[in-house]
Chain A
Amino acid sequence: MPVIQASELWKQYRRPKVKAGSLKEAALAFFRGQRGSEEFWALRDVSFSVEKGEAVGLVGPNGSGKSTMLAILARVIKSTRGAINVVGRVCPLLELGTGFHPDLSGRENVFLNASLLGLGHRETAARYEDIVDFAELHEFMDAPVKTYSTGMVIRLGFAVAVHMDPDILLIDEVLGVGDEHFQHKSFGRLLDFKKAGKTLFVVSHNLDSITSICDRAIWLDRGRIVKDEDAVEVVTKYKLAVEHWERTIQEAKARNATPR
């Protein structure tokens, strides 16, 4: 039985023609006849299913719908059409550390973040030492997070997420965070996850990390699935496509630059 099953997912974003952040702007736009909104499909007819224990990478250029796909999996946003079923505890690692509150201490933030990921107070307390050990922030846990460096925040966020014992881990552009030592450690942790039969869903522009973690990759372009097969194959084809695309741009530039 698949742990993730997406069938015919469509996601539409509506962007008002004039972005109204206040009533005044909304009223002005209304009277000027700038009603209605531009419609933009971030996902078009996306269907796939993921079996338990699979590691799936998502590749594609900016704006291809990768982050939208992850946000739908994390239940943060809803698809416009289509259905998605996810079985098991999902732990999203989207934009690491942003769920932290700058005025609260590292310790308080660990408990807040863990509760958001579905853990009770006692369960979190049982893992607290391991989380601190993993983040290597022992002497900073009682200091407010606003005094942390970027690297420290990211380490703490990653540490909390990997200790949540999720069934499905969603990772968005957070591979290769921190210094060499921490990168090595977090990478090893993800491989352990895979060995333990957990499901991984990875979005990254770092194609090498996709091939080294994932067995399978889905290539998205403008909201549609271009390819969905073996990771190495998809990444190779995707690289070729990107090279081709860049060459076309270069040629077009060169052509425009030539004097008439």
Chain B
Amino acid sequence: MPYRRWSGGCRLLRAGAIIGSGGRCPPTAMTELLEVVRYREVLWNLVRRNLKVRYKNSVLGFAWSLLNPLMQIGVWYFVFEVLFGRDQPNFMAFLVTGFLPWLFFSQTVLDSTACVTQEMALVKKAYFPRTILPLSALISNFIHLCFAFIVLLGLFVIWRVDVNIYYLWLLPATVLVAVFAYGLAAMLAAWSVFYADVKFIVGNLLGLWFFLTPVLYPVDNVLRGSLKSPDNWLEIFLSENLPLLKKLFVLDPLTIGIEGYRSALLRGGEIPIVHPEYPFWLYTLGATGIALVTAVIGQIIFRRKADLFAEQG
């Protein structure tokens, strides 16, 4: 009987029948997406479990996803306003709006380094599209971001920042950060299965990256070269000595994402000026391109490695 190598399983898959083709289907992005949709119940279960397990054995439980950013803000308030006596209107609002997208990004990337290894028992036992694992890290942290927004809106009432229609700009800014975070998450999830070092390297690189994103300082200080406070080493660092870093800074999807958040929440939708010489749409396009390319490369790397996960360890 003639045996056709790829055909049978794939045709059944398209017809929506539940089959196990022994992984004979070529892993195209489309079939993987269909598989994720078919196994969405697993995704929701993993997300629910991530949310529950994160604060297990803690008395306050879910309240921590609200309390964590609050406490971080408290620390900054102490450092910048009490210790340094920095006097800038709405400085706390400025910090928080930059911190939320950063927290979403960095936690997703950090969680991704454990997302496969911690589910090894499932990976070895049953088939499900492995793409679900980095996706669950992304979605769990998106939900944490939503929780944190509830706190933020509460704070805005206290700080008397007005709520307006320009908040809708948060959507594209969040999508940009999410796409970029997913790409890195998929890539790192795959590598961390084979090398435990990835987790530690990523943790430290994120520590550096934090200072290269405009969470703690306004972006125009860096790029207009207006050194209002010469003691700020970072401004000098970025604006004069390292032109390449400066370019990367402008094209970093996080810079655009954070500035997008600030424009939406604090500046009434005013277009942010990230670079004085080029129009906003140009570097936004560049950053979007970088985010998309990262996502595609990340997914390709992940799919290539995914078949070997169950054989590892």
Interface residues in chain A, defined as those with a beta carbon under 8 Å from any beta carbon in chain B: 5-7, 13, 20-24, 26, 71-79, 83-90, 92, 94-95, 98-101, 103-104, 108, 111-112, 115-121
Smallest Cβ-Cβ distance to A172: which chain B residue: B125
A78-B23 in contact (CB<8A): yes
Tell me the complex Cα distance, A11–B49, Å.
34
Residues of B within 8 A of A (CB): 3, 5, 8-9, 12, 17-24, 39, 41-42, 44-46, 48-49, 52-53, 56, 121-128, 195-197, 307, 310-311
Smallest Cβ-Cβ distance to B312: which chain A residue:
A21
Instruction: Tell me the bound Cα distance from A90 to B18 in angstroms.
Output: 9
Please report the C-alpha to C-alpha distance between residue A21 and residue B193 in the assembled complex, in whole angstroms: 9
Q: In the complex the two chains form, what is the Cα distance from A111 to B43 in whole Å?
A: 12
Chain A residues positioned under 8 Å from B56 (CB to CB):
103
Say yes or no: B22 contacts A22, CB within 8 Å: no
A-B contact count (CB 8 A): 115
Residues of B within 8 A of A6 (CB): 22
A76–B120 Cα distance when bound, in Å, is 11
Query: Is the Cβ of B18 less than 8 Å from the Cβ of A78?
Result: no
Residue of B nearest to A91 (CB): B126
Contact, CB under 8 Å: B8 / A85: yes
Q: Which residues of A contact B41 (CB under 8 A)?
A: 115, 119-121
Q: Is there contact, CB below 8 Å, between A116 and B42?
A: yes
Interchain CB contact under 8 A, A92 and B3: no
CB closest residue in chain A, given B56: A103
Residues on B with beta carbons closer than 8 Å to the beta carbon of A76: 123-127, 310
CB distance from B60 to the nearest CB of A (A): 17
Q: Which of B21, B121, B196 contacts A86 (CB 8 A)?
A: B21
Q: B22 touching A75 by the CB < 8 A rule?
A: yes
Given A112-B45, A115-B41, A121-B41, A90-B20 contact (CB < 8 Å): yes
| Contact (A22, B24) CB under 8 Å given A7-B3, A76-B127, A116-B122 | no
How long is the Cα–Cα vector from A98 to B24 in the complex, in angstroms? 26
**Are A98 and B49 interface neighbours, CB within 8 A?**
no
Closest 8 pairs between A and B when the two form their complex, measured CB to CB: A84-B22, A75-B127, A115-B41, A78-B23, A86-B20, A116-B126, A23-B197, A112-B45
Known: A13-B311, A104-B49. A21 touches B122 (CB 8 A): no
Q: Which residues of A contact B44 (CB under 8 A)?
A: 115, 121
CA distance A75 to B39 in the complex (A): 14
Contacts of A88 in B (CB 8 A): 18-19
Of the candidates A24, A77, A83, A100, the one whose C-beta lies within 8 Å of that of B24 is A83
Closest to A75 in B: B127
Instruction: Give chain A residues whose Cβ lies under 8 Å from the Cβ of B46.
Output: 112
Asked if B19 and A112 make an inter-chain contact with CB atoms under 8 angstroms apart, the answer reads no
Given contacts A86-B22, A99-B121, 17 further A-B contacts (CB under 8 A): A20-B195, A74-B20, A75-B22, A76-B124, A76-B125, A77-B307, A85-B21, A85-B22, A86-B9, A90-B127, A92-B125, A95-B125, A99-B122, A112-B46, A115-B45, A118-B39, A119-B41
Residues of A within 8 A of B23 (CB): 75, 77-79
A72 and B19 contact, Cβ closer than 8 Å, known pairs A85-B8, A95-B125, A99-B122: no
Let me know if B5 and A116 touch, CB within 8 A. no
| Shortest CB distance B181–A (Å) | 23
Among B17, B126, B196, point to the contact of A74 (Cβ < 8 A): B126
Q: Within the complex, which residue of B3, B49, B121 is in contact with A83, where a contact is CB–CB below 8 Å?
A: B3
Measured between alpha carbons, how far is A246 from B44 in the docked complex, in Å? 52
B211 vs chain A, min Cβ distance (A): 25
Kindly list chain A residues whose C-beta atoms are within 8 Å of the C-beta of B17.
87
Measured CA separation A94–B121 after assembly (Å)? 11
The answer to whether A116 and B22 touch across the interface, beta carbons within 8 angstroms, is no
